[in-house]
Chains A and B, each alone.
Chain A
Amino acid sequence: MSLSRKHLVIALAGCSLATGIVVSAFAANDSGAPSEAPYQGLVELGFPAPQEGELVHVPPTMADLEDADIHPELKKVIRYGYDLFTNTQQLRGEYVNNDMNCSSCHLGEGRQPFSAPVWAAAVTLPDFRGKNQHVNNLEERIAGCFAYSMNGTPPQYGSDEMLALSAYHQWLATGAPMYPSQPIYGRGFPAPDEPAESPDYARGEAAYQENCAICHQDDGAGHYENGEYVFPALWGDGSNNWGAGIVRVDTAAGFIYNNMPLGQPRSLSDQDAWDIAYYMSSQERPQDPRYTGDVAETLERFGPTFHKRSLYGQTREHDGHVLGDHANFGEKGNVEPWNVGVPRFESLSSE
Chain B
Amino acid sequence: MNKKQWVKFSLLMGVSLVGASSVAGTAFAETGNAERGQIAAATCTACHQANGSGMNIPGGESWPRLAGLNADYIVKQLHDFKQGRRQNATMMPFASMLNDQQIVDVAAYYSQMPVTPAQGGDDADAVLLQRGEQLAERGDWDAYIVSCKSCHGPGGTGVGGQFPGIASQHAGYISAQLHAWQDDERSNDPQHLMGAIAKRMSDEDIQAVSAWYAAQDVSDQTGSAEEETTQ
A226: Cβ under 8 A from any B Cβ: yes
* Complex contact A226–B157 (CB within 8 A): yes
Q: Mark B128-165, 1 if CB is under 8 A from A, else 0.
A: 00000000001101111010001101100111101000
CA distance A109 to B146 in the complex (A): 11
CA distance A261 to B196 in the complex (A): 11
B191: Cβ under 8 A from any A Cβ: yes
Determine which of A108, A223, A262 lies in contact with B159 in the assembled complex, contact meaning CB atoms within 8 Å.
A223
Chain A residues positioned under 8 Å from B153 (CB to CB) = 225-226, 228, 230
* Complex contact B160–A264 (CB within 8 A): no
A112: Cβ under 8 A from any B Cβ: yes
* Complex contact B154–A230 (CB within 8 A): yes
CB distance from B154 to the nearest CB of A (A): 5
Determine which of A45, A107, A214 lies in contact with B190 in the assembled complex, contact meaning CB atoms within 8 Å.
A214
A211: Cβ under 8 A from any B Cβ: yes
* Complex contact B162–A41 (CB within 8 A): no
Q: Mark A7-47, 1 if CB is under 8 A from B, else 0.
A: 00000000000000000000000000000000001100100
B192: Cβ under 8 A from any A Cβ: yes
CA distance A41 to B141 in the complex (A): 10
Chain A residues positioned under 8 Å from B154 (CB to CB) = 225-226, 228, 230
CA distance A108 to B140 in the complex (A): 8
Determine which of B139, B146, B160, B193 lies in contact with A225 in the assembled complex, contact meaning CB atoms within 8 Å.
B160
* Complex contact A230–B159 (CB within 8 A): yes
Which chain B residue lies CB-closest to A108? B141
A111: Cβ under 8 A from any B Cβ: yes
* Complex contact B142–A41 (CB within 8 A): yes
CB distance from B187 to the nearest CB of A (A): 14
CB distance from B68 to the nearest CB of A (A): 14
* Complex contact A112–B162 (CB within 8 A): no
A72: Cβ under 8 A from any B Cβ: no
* Complex contact B141–A109 (CB within 8 A): yes
CA distance A242 to B191 in the complex (A): 31
CB distance from B109 to the nearest CB of A (A): 23
* Complex contact B144–A262 (CB within 8 A): no
Give the dominant DSSP class at B's interface: helix
* Complex contact B141–A263 (CB within 8 A): no
Determine which of B138, B159, B191 lies in contact with A211 in the assembled complex, contact meaning CB atoms within 8 Å.
B191
* Complex contact A111–B141 (CB within 8 A): yes
Determine which of A41, A86, A107, A263 lies in contact with B196 in the assembled complex, contact meaning CB atoms within 8 Å.
A263
Determine which of B142, B150, B157, B160 lies in contact with A262 in the assembled complex, contact meaning CB atoms within 8 Å.
B150
Chain B residues positioned under 8 Å from A261 (CB to CB) = 191, 193
B176: Cβ under 8 A from any A Cβ: no
CA distance A264 to B150 in the complex (A): 14
Interface centre among B141, B150, B196, B197 (most CB of A within 10 A): B141
Q: Mark A68-84, 1 if CB is under 8 A from B, else 0.
A: 00000000000000000
CA distance A180 to B193 in the complex (A): 38
* Complex contact A263–B193 (CB within 8 A): yes
Which chain A residue lies CB-closest to B162? A214
Interface centre among A45, A112, A223, A225 (most CB of B within 10 A): A225
Q: Would you give 27 A-B contacts (Cβ < 8 Å), ordered by A?
A: A42-B144, A61-B142, A107-B141, A108-B141, A109-B138, A214-B162, A214-B191, A214-B193, A223-B160, A225-B154, A225-B160, A226-B154, A226-B157, A230-B150, A230-B151, A230-B153, A261-B193, A262-B150, A263-B144, A263-B146, A263-B151, A263-B193, A263-B196, A263-B197, A264-B191, A264-B192, A264-B193
Name A's B-contacting residues (CB within 8 A): 41-42, 45, 61-62, 86, 107-109, 111-112, 211, 214-215, 223, 225-226, 228, 230-231, 261-265
Contacts A108-B139, A108-B141, A263-B193 known; 11 new A-B pairs at CB < 8 A: A41-B144, A211-B191, A214-B190, A225-B160, A230-B159, A261-B193, A262-B193, A263-B144, A263-B146, A264-B196, A265-B144
